Structure 1
Amino acid sequence: MNKTELKRVCVKPFDKDRFEVIENYEFSLSNYKGIVPKGFKTDGASIPRLFWSLFPPFKKRVF
């Protein structure tokens, strides 16, 4: 059985609207395992290119 495991990511404020990951973040989605490296900077809302096929950043969606 495939399972999704997500845990809280540890971040600290980096700039006005940005955060920095303070320890490596490992995650598992079905059969895919990934890592967000320590030091990665994010606004917390941008969609990584990896997920654009599921959540297109430039297409209006109605939920």
Structure 2
Amino acid sequence: MFICGELGCSFESVGSKWLSDKKFIITNIISFAALWSLWKLRNGLCFQNLAWRSKNHLLS
């Protein structure tokens, strides 16, 4: 069972960290990288006809 931590349970929990200037800079970098990689994977699957390999491909 997945239990939400401080970050990632909802859009608001991620967005609230972005509004607090430089206090959460490392958290913001990590969340940005994760969201960007998901966006790139989505674009590849939807627009470039890439095939789904595995969740390990997503994590890499």
TM range (shorter): under 0.3
More strand by share: 1
TM-score of the pair, normalised by structure 2: 0.23
TM-score of the pair, normalised by structure 1: 0.22
Higher relative contact order (CA 8 A, sep 6+): 1
